Structure 1
Amino acid sequence: MSDKKTASLSVLDLAPIPQGATARDAFHTSLAMAQQAEQLGFNRYWLAEHHNMTGIASAATSVLIGYLAANTSTLRLGSGGVMLPNHAPLVIAEQFGTLESLYPGRIDLGLGRAPGSDQRTMMALRRHMGGHVDNFPADVAEIVGWFDAEQGEAPAVQPVPGLGLKIPVWLLGSSLYSAQLAAKLGLPFAFASHFAPEMLFQALHLYRENFKPSARLAQPHAMVCVNVVAADSEGDARFLFTSMQQQFVNLRRGQPGPLPAPVENMDNLWSPSEQYGVQQALSMSIVGDLDKVRHGLSALMRETQADEIMVNGQIFDKEARLRSFALAMEAYRSL
């Protein structure tokens, strides 16, 4: 490893709904995951906004954050992310201002520019298309401005609660756009290499090279998200990983659904072109036993020089999922 301080380790949770389970089951699993993450010393626990996807239960992201925050004590919780074009900035500032007021010092607001859904779902969310992605820089600046307001400032429109609460704001991205905007605004940046790894290194370079210090951040701060599926043997981990591989095949076919049960062999479940596409999308995945995960995390930190690593893992069985994240932390602590 380099002389750089070891990056901290965090969790991304999409609240997956396995086949045969319900959203309620997914929420209970997320709570068990968050409580374990707190106990094991993970740095953050983020939830991602998705809509009209029957395999992901985290659509009402701020509500789920509140549920987990109420049942943990010290863990930082946040959005990874809220898809801002789907919402009025004031509503998001109020929601996260409420969370910060209830659980002070524990809340992060990660913002994404992608809609997180298809065109029809976007229309159902917004009713009109006023929340255009081109408004994203101004919308982010508006939220940051509210959170950074000094005592005595009273804008004509303000989030109550939320004004002046200094809630950390992150920009999330899977391309170069948010990397450049985060650099321009002096905000921390997280890259979604767990499903879109192609531009990871270019985005990190752009962010660091163009970063402008701000009142919020003196120097660039980058997080990299990857998939980690860990088990007591490499064969077991590969088996568990097939659930995520099937999920991505189904997404590419336009047939998203509940998280599939793992299978012994993927050969009959994907075409060669589907296999290539899924393997490209999931190439930033560390799958194996404790030793392989340790080496994978070490290489990732060395190659990216990330300040934080966030791990995602769509695993069908609840106990196997808890075990995977525990092994990830054990591997991290042994670096």
Structure 2
Amino acid sequence: MSSNKKLSEIPLSVLDLVPILEGKTASDSFKTSLDLARHVEEWGYKRYWLAEHHNMPGIASSATVLLIGHIAGGTKSIRVGSGGIMLPNHAPLVVAEQFGTLESLFPGRIDLGLGRAPGTDGLTAMALRRDLRGDVDDFPKNVQELQYYLGPVDPTARVRAIPGQGLEVPMWLLGSSTYSAQLAAMLGLPFAFASHFAPAALQAALKIYRDTFQPSEQLKEPYAIACVNGVAANSDAEAEKLATTLYQAFLNVIRGTGNPQQPPVESMEDLWSPSEKYAVQQMLRYTFIGSPATVKEEISAFLEETQVDELMFASHIYDHQARLRSYELLAELAKK
């Protein structure tokens, strides 16, 4: 691990929640996501991940596997994957077959990121699974079952993933607490932390992951991604206004309201109470908003603090051109 990581020395990646904008449709979102993926590929981003969410009016990424195929089919070289597939919602064999199919279609470009949460509310989780029985051991067992299906061909196996077996699709564990950090370390898998909405446990999770990491066939040394929010613009004032879309999105989360992504506003003060403002700010601790100079200074401090191996940016920006510009500015910073 480098003693002092710099922005120019680490890969940058994208987490796309495929937001549905107010007054727009999911079809519109799929078009803008593909356009964003094509641009960030040109700008040198390493991977483009899509997150599984369900029953959320502002997010269109419920059929995550289909969207991964859509993005991979419309790009040439960028890695495309899940950030993540919520494994409790799916049988491991089905996931193995789906990602075996993706890897067969787009060899060497697919990532399989796995999450332990349902990515939705309890009622919707029941509708997805039909059954919520299980215990805390299910997730590790399911991860290992999935590893088996995507691992070396076992000619004696009575159940095999076809396609899937022997393809060794790179697997990642995602987390917002220390649980997945421990499991990723035990299994020797790369780890991605959701500090874009759950910043509190980031440092503890990174320490546990690095201190207890066991090398594996997939990975010899620990490798950690931190997902953060990024809103870059030509000036601090412009970025702050663009970021009011992000604030409104997290206000939705706190209130439990399901709204499409909202356009920016001049001020948030009439929209949230002091306690709501505090709660949003706590969730958005690792959010970098501002001009290139401002953002670079904040990101550099974050890298010094965390020493992560890769940064993944989520971006709640309403206007597509402004969103593209934000990712372009971040890419430019990484080259300086």
* TM band (smaller chain): over 0.9
1:190-211 deviations in Å (ceiling 9; x for gaps): 0000000000000000000010
Cα pair distance change 1:279/1:146, threshold 3 Å: same
| Residue in structure 2 matching 1:218, options 208, 217, 220 | 220
| Residue in structure 2 matching 1:124, options 123, 127, 130 | 127
- Check the 8 A contact 1:231/1:289 in 2, yes or no: yes
In the TM superposition, 1:142-181 aligns within 5 A as 142-150=145-153, 153-181=155-183
State the Cα distance separating 1:129 from its structure 2 match. Answer: 1.9
Asked whether 1:111 is paired with 2:114, we answer yes
For 2:116 and 2:158, the matched residues in 1 are separated by 26
- Tell me the equivalent position of 1:35: 38
1:69-103 deviations in Å (ceiling 9; x for gaps): 11111110000000000111111111110000000
- Check the 8 A contact 1:81/1:111 in 2, yes or no: yes
- Check the 8 A contact 1:226/1:310 in 2, yes or no: yes
- Tell me the equivalent position of 1:74: 77
1:25-47 deviations in Å (ceiling 9; x for gaps): 11011001100011111010000
| Residue in structure 1 matching 2:68, options 50, 60, 65 | 65
SS in 1 for 2:239: helix
Cα pair distance change 1:172/1:147, threshold 3 Å: same
- Tell me the equivalent position of 2:295: 293
Q: So what's the TM-score if we normalise by structure 1?
A: 0.97
- Tell me the equivalent position of 1:16: 19
State the Cα distance separating 1:297 from its structure 2 match. Answer: 2.1
State the Cα distance separating 1:153 from its structure 2 match. Answer: 3.2
SS in 2 for 1:198: helix
Stretch deviating more after TM superposition (273-282 or 290-299):
290-299
- Share of identical aligned residues, percent? 56
Q: So what's the TM-score if we normalise by structure 2?
A: 0.97
- Tell me the equivalent position of 2:59: 56
In the TM superposition, 1:258-269 aligns within 5 A as 258-269=260-271
Cα pair distance change 1:146/1:38, threshold 3 Å: same
- Tell me the equivalent position of 1:278: 280
Gaps of 5+ in 2: none
State the Cα distance separating 1:155 from its structure 2 match. Answer: 1.4
Asked whether 1:311 is paired with 2:277, we answer no
Runs of 4+ off more than 6 Å: none
Q: How many residues align?
A: 333
- Check the 8 A contact 1:86/1:131 in 2, yes or no: no
- Check the 8 A contact 1:113/1:133 in 2, yes or no: no
- Tell me the equivalent position of 1:324: 326
Cα pair distance change 1:101/1:130, threshold 3 Å: farther
For 1:283 and 1:301, the matched residues in 2 are separated by 14
- Check the 8 A contact 2:242/2:317 in 1, yes or no: yes
- Check the 8 A contact 1:173/1:179 in 2, yes or no: yes
